Amino acid sequence: MASITKRGDSWRAQVRRRGHKPLSKTFSKKALAESWAREMEQQIEAGAFHAEDPDFGVLVQRYIDEILPIKPMQRSHVATMRNLKRRVAGTKVSEVTAHWMLSVAQGMDCAPSTRAQYFVFLAMVLRTADTFWGTRPDWEEWKRGRHMLIQYGLLGRSQERNRRVTPDEVELILDCMQSSLPMEELTHFALDSAVRLGELVRVTWGDLDETKKTLTIRDRKHPRMKMGNDQTIPLLGRSFDIVQAQVRQKKQIFPYDAGSISAAFHRAVVRAGLVDLRWHDLRHEAICRLFEAGYEIQEVALVSGHRDWNMLRRYTHLKPESLHRGTVD
């Protein structure tokens, strides 16, 4: 049975038939909506639409099985997809309404930016199912639901961090460090090289050029290129000497677990009585220090790995006193 409803200046036609997924589309005129609805009803009668209404959780698993081998994700994103599969399992695609989206968002105990990322993944699965697997989601309903979730503040962008790490804080953290890992060397290497933690534990001795004092970072983070984004960075400050001081017993220069490094750092931060400080803030601090040292944006990008120089804007939290490097005539 078809229904035609007015939504602002447009008309939305929806066709529901037992055993079939609901179909909907928005038009500028009521007559167009009625014509489309009649056509869809005729196609259903003719068997043009099959009655498949898959489980959303099954679609997520199919995406993991069939699409990820073609377009790999970061390991943390794969874990997120598996978590989403558990959340949406048992929900038919025809049941993905604005009200359902609201209940899912309310059931997520996380920041609006994290919820937004979850919904991006869900939409990605639905788009794939729509394109390749014969599933027809109600995109108008999805857009309406997402719009209202943003309006309610349940979905949103992540806030840019501007936390700077002072030398005194670094010294205090290292004084409070209780770990068998060489955390002092790892911390100073991060502060001088600006590499991410995942990159730090992956680099190998084969990536090191001792003559040029450079290090190649393999498969560096990139919004579109998941593999093959290799970049060579200069080892500035103490970073080259720290690499040279490592024992060459394994393939990796720093053969340690990233989770163990992060956990040891966090425990030391807690013992030091500091707040709102993470290991990744060391990269932020390293990039800020490069700007304060007088490096140009293209030089900083060579170290940080940013392809888009505009992305470096969030790292330019310079200290006012750093401008006293020279005098103005």
- Report yes or no: 165 and 171 within 8 Å, Cβ to Cβ: no
Higher pLDDT, residue 255 or 288: 255
CATH of the domain spanning 167-325 = 1.10.443.10
Q: Does the pTM exceed 0.75?
A: no
Confidence of residue 329 (pLDDT cuts 50, 70, 90): very low
Top-confidence range, 75-84, 170-179, 314-323? 170-179
Question: Where exactly are the structural domains of the chain?
Answer: 2-45, 56-151, 167-325
Residue 119 has pLDDT above 50, yes or no: yes
pLDDT, one tens digit per residue, over 220-279 is 775 555 556 788 999 999 999 999 999 998 999 999 999 999 999 999 999 999 988 999
Higher pLDDT, residue 40 or 124: 124
Confidence of residue 1 (pLDDT cuts 50, 70, 90): low
Core vs surface per residue 250-259: b (16+ CB within 10 A) or e: eeebbebebe
% of the chain beyond a pLDDT of 70: 86
Q: Give the integer Cα–Cα distance in Å for 285 and 204.
A: 24
Confidence of residue 209 (pLDDT cuts 50, 70, 90): very high
Confidence of residue 24 (pLDDT cuts 50, 70, 90): confident
The token pair at 218 is 């393999």
Q: Which of 38-47, 82-91, 103-112, 169-178 has the lowest mean pLDDT?
A: 38-47
For residue 237, count CB atoms less than 10 angstroms from its CB and return exposed for 0-12, middle for 13-18, buried for 19 or more.
Answer: middle
Q: Which residues are catalytic?
A: 196, 226, 280, 283, 306, 315
Residue 63 has pLDDT above 50, yes or no: yes
Higher pLDDT, residue 329 or 85: 85
Residue 169 has pLDDT above 60, yes or no: yes
Provide the pLDDT for residue 327: 39
